[in-house]
Amino acid sequence: MCGIVGIINLDRDQPADEQTARAMAEAIIHRGPDDDGFYFKNNVALGMRRLSIIDLRTGHQPISNEDGSVWVVFNGEIYNFLELRERLIARGHHFRTHSDTEVIVHLYEDHGDDLTSHLNGMFAFALWDENRQRLLIARDRMGEKPLYFTQIANQAFIFASELKSLVVHPLVERRLNLLALRKYLQYEFVPSPYTMFEGVHKLRPAHRLIFEKGQWRTERYWQLSYEDERLKIGEDEAAEEVRRRLREAVRIRLISDVPLGVLLSGGIDSSSVAALACEAAQGRVKTFSIAFEERSFDESSYARLVADRLGTDHYEQRFTEREMLAIVPEIPRLLDEPLGDGSLIPTSLLCRFTRHHVTVALGGDGGDEFLAGYPTYAAHRMTGYYRALPQFVRSGLIEPAVESLPVSTENLSFDFRAKRFVRGAVLPPGTRHTVWMGSFDAGQQRLLLTSDVLNAWHDEAVFNEVRNYDYENGSGKTGIIEQMMMLDATHYLSECVLFKVDRASMAASLETRAPFLDHTFIEFLMKLPIDLKFRGLTGKYILKRAMQDRLPEEVIKRPKKGFGMPVAKWIKGELQPLVRDLFAPERLKRRGLFNPEYVQKLLDEHERGQADHRKLIWTLLMFEMWPLAKS
């Protein structure tokens, strides 16, 4: 696992600034504390920081082909590199290392830009073709590894693994992107290709970028789709195939030259990964979980249950509320851009704890999106029944009753879920999905934002990612549930979940791997009939069938929990001074982005227990704490 950087001056007679390239790499030393490496030639600089995982002795980067005409810097893991290496050797290529990085330059020699189609892994890489004066950068299919880039007029093309590295270059300006701000307020994250800075972009997942002759262009090389013919397969066969394919995805992610373990939450996804790792690994598997004092947020008993059943070497650390709160001031250091997902805190704590014991850890990310695990899918199915009720029943009885429910600060409390459901149920699918999952909808943004911010962009541009899903009957062979699964996979998973996991794990110099995101496994799951994934109101049906004889019944049958934090309680208590300071009316007026009166109203209602505004306030707090905006 690594961090990569690069500079290409458009004037070929102007040498790339070595000092700047080294400073950019130093800004992401947490991604690779073990080693660094650089390529400097004329107007080109490539650099990397390395966390040594594969080929500890000879895997130094950058790596070139035989004649030194093609160079690569690489972040990630190629899980099928041994197979690719044998194939390339048979074709006459000569290898100097045993690392997965070296297969990239030889694949490029044989397949050109299409080399990405041959890779099974998580990756972001940059490849410089000296003879053609041409740069190729690419990102893995689901977006596990990040990559930012910008072109500064006629001066330079610059890229880096993280935004905090990119802005080290003196040509990169920090002009706030108001469209990205509004998207963040809605979704709680900034979706690619946008970033919080004007003119700076995130390369989309499953895309490659070619820069030559002073111009860049992007291409998609892989596409998620539910439109292919569905498999005609029985439940028993499907369960066996799910287990077999997931086991193989786990097996190839166990390849490592350093200690390895499994992040175990006690949910069905991470428990399945742990169970199959125990089948595939040599020796006992290490598992890691954390526990919390707040009962409604704690899942540790389920993790211990799974560890006992599987016989793993289980490590658990219990955190007090004070220890959880202590990480809040550190959040800005972890992030390139604001993130309104409070689960960053427990994810960071888990990664730090795990890193004390191993360097690589497998996790369960991706199971919810491709096997219909989120409660929102059941909510979408229930909206049909709710909207069939007479209007007077909904508006005269149900909605007033729901609004009168007492406010609770517990994790996913009934009042929180009921109020969100009623608020979104009358909206079209894509919009209601985001209302349930996100923070500030269009109406709330009109109250929050100043006229200058609102007038900069129309709502159509702000919400275009979800409004493409605003229809009632699906399209082609897909229905609403699969459309929402697609929205979550391409939007929430890629842009929020994987962003969070990458920053939390890399801040601890821990590499995380996600077997559920193996692209061959995903392609198989997308061909399964929806009834095998989502039956009635139950998600992950076929995964539960596949793992029922390998995991405790309590884990198979437990509902989705989520990695939550007592944010609602903290805002009223320990975090109140910080929140009040950052949201001081005079400060907000100087910033000129948010209306102080509306922000004050949110705080007052939340503190008095009149409403639960945890998501809105936390989303604003994370933006106000974002350090790159203050320089």
Domain boundaries defined on the chain: 2-220
What DSSP line would sit under 250-269, residue for residue? HHHTT--SS-EEEE--SSHH
Q: What is the pLDDT of residues 233-242, one digit of tens each?
A: 999 999 999 9
Buried b (16+ CB within 10 A) or exposed e, 466-505: beebeeeebeeebbbbbbbbbbbbbbbbbbbbbbbbbbbb
Q: Tell me what the mean pLDDT of segment 239-250 comes to.
A: 97
Q: What is the pLDDT of residues 7-23, one digit of tens each?
A: 999 999 999 999 999 99
What DSSP line would sit under 370-395, residue for residue? HTT-SHHHHHHHHHHHHHHS-HHHII
Please give the Cα distance from 80 to 253 (Å, whole number): 10
Strands 207-212 and 200-202: unpaired
Question: Residue 70 pLDDT > 60, yes or no?
Answer: yes
Q: Rounded to the nearest 5°, which phi and psi values hold at 57? A: -85, -45
Q: What is the pLDDT of residue 524?
A: 96
Q: What is the pLDDT of residue 474?
A: 46
Cis peptide before 62 (omega within 30 of 0): yes
Q: 2-220 has which fold?
A: Glutamine Phosphoribosylpyrophosphate, subunit 1, domain 1 (3.60.20)
How many angstroms from the chain centroid is the CA of residue 30? 18
How does residue 454 score in pLDDT terms, banded at 50, 70 and 90?
very high
Q: What is the pLDDT of residue 360?
A: 94
Q: What is the pLDDT of residues 105-162, one digit of tens each?
A: 999 999 999 999 999 999 999 999 999 999 999 999 999 999 999 999 889 999 999 9
Q: Tell me what the mean pLDDT of segment 68-97 comes to.
A: 95
Q: What is the pLDDT of residue 344?
A: 93
Token digits for 337? 């851009």
Q: Tell me what the mean pLDDT of segment 28-43 comes to.
A: 90
Q: What is the pLDDT of residue 52?
A: 63
Please give the Cα distance from 596 to 202 (Å, whole number): 31
Catalytic residue numbers read 2
Q: What is the pLDDT of residues 79-92, one digit of tens each?
A: 999 999 999 999 99
Question: CA angle at residue 500 from 495 to 505, to 5 degrees?
Answer: 135
